[in-house]
Chain A
């Protein structure tokens, strides 16, 4: 197993890959645990003593904090002690990096724009813009708003880039990072609920804003209180419409998160089958290795569909919601 080389069991390997890199405040008196590296008891004890920490006799070196401060979390108890201000800095880093990449590529293509000799990059971007333009023109019909198409393009390209990080082999970035001293690393930002939920919340705020702008505040209240059954069933209307309203950001966020998380989980399970310690390889181990490589390939090819589809659906539903927000309120 790939996990053997890092001295972890299969389960610890999975948990390690599913944990974000968290930065947050820890109170004084909190006990931090560091994973002790070393092949035997004595080696682990020396490893801990090198860092001036106590070895607990099993797996960890302990350190009790003397003052409050901001630290990188080393395990789940650290994350729990951090509470609200636990920042997932790997998610932030990779999402901003990919957003920057998207802006950089598009800005470069726009600067080097040429009618006579279009580059391949320019043609690709024109194709993408045509595609988004077609989708928005086909779906967004209730009003005129020049914000919707650029927003759709941004969401599509950004979410697609973040999803594509899922196709990077699961150990390629986290393993070198761990050798450099970064305890956890999750490279796919969309497998973090915080990111998908914040994306969905932004869409929801825009939905509320454009609803109120196009219908007026009174019109918006009317649309959620008088709608399915008429004024004499106001409580039932409110109940249904508010659930309908809240389901929008919730389903947006959970759909993207769940799909990518499940995909990542399956990649991890396949990676767990593969051994990199070639000296101790048996025939059965070799078979498992080949099966793992084959399965990885098959799942990656299948996953391309999910990656693109989920980005498309997030974009499509955003446009649909924007269209609903711009509809005028009508008494049925």
Chain B
């Protein structure tokens, strides 16, 4: 296989898998947050920082993957 083609396939896989992972993670987190707030609205202020911490942790690895995919696509 040509190197150029392999590069595009690799970058495509990186984008796609990163999107799937981040989507599932963020979806689970958000749905649980909404459920929890619906059940106990008075806890919202306590839940929100934890939620953002979780979102940051979930977001980090896919973001790195996207950056590396761009690197593979345009620089390497």
Please, how many angstroms separate the alpha-carbon atoms of A312 and B56 in the complex? 9
> Which residues on B sit within 8 Å (CB–CB) of A14?
74-75
Q: In the complex, are the beta carbons of A312 and B74 less than 8 A apart?
A: no
C-alpha spacing A14/B73, complex, angstroms? 12
Q: Which of A11, A15, A258 contacts B60 (CB 8 A)?
A: A258
A297 and B21 alpha carbons, distance in the complex (Å): 26
Number of A positions contacting B (CB below 8 A): 22
List the B side residues contacting A140 at CB < 8 Å: none
Chain B contacts of A259 at CB under 8 A?
59-60, 63-64, 67
A contacts with B: majority SS: helix
Task: Name the segment of B1-9, B29-37, B47-55 touching the other chain.
Answer: B47-55
User: Known contacts A254-B64, A262-B66, A306-B63: does B53 contact A10 (CB below 8 Å)?
Assistant: no
Q: Number of B residues contacting the other chain (C-beta, 8 Å)? A: 18
CB contacts under 8 Å to B, within A310-328, are: 310, 312-313, 316
- Please, how many angstroms separate the alpha-carbon atoms of A265 and B67 in the complex? 6
In the complex, A266 has a CB within 8 A of chain B: yes
User: Are B53 and A262 in touch, CB under 8 angstroms?
Assistant: no
Listed residue (B60, B64, B70) with the most chain A CB atoms within 10 angstroms of its CB: B60
Residues of chain B with a CB closer than 8 A to A269's CB: 70, 74
Contacts A135-B49, A265-B70, A269-B74; is A310 near B56 (CB within 8 Å)? Answer: yes
Q: Within 8 Å of chain B (Cβ to Cβ): is A273?
A: no
| Chain A residues closer than 8 Å to B67, beta-carbon distance | 258-259, 261-263, 265-266
Q: Is the CB of A316 within 8 A of B74?
A: no
A-B contact pairs, 7 of them (CB 8 A): A135-B49, A258-B64, A258-B67, A259-B64, A261-B64, A262-B63, A306-B59
A interface residues, Cβ below 8 angstroms from B: 10-11, 14-15, 18, 135, 254-255, 258-259, 261-263, 265-266, 269, 306, 309-310, 312-313, 316
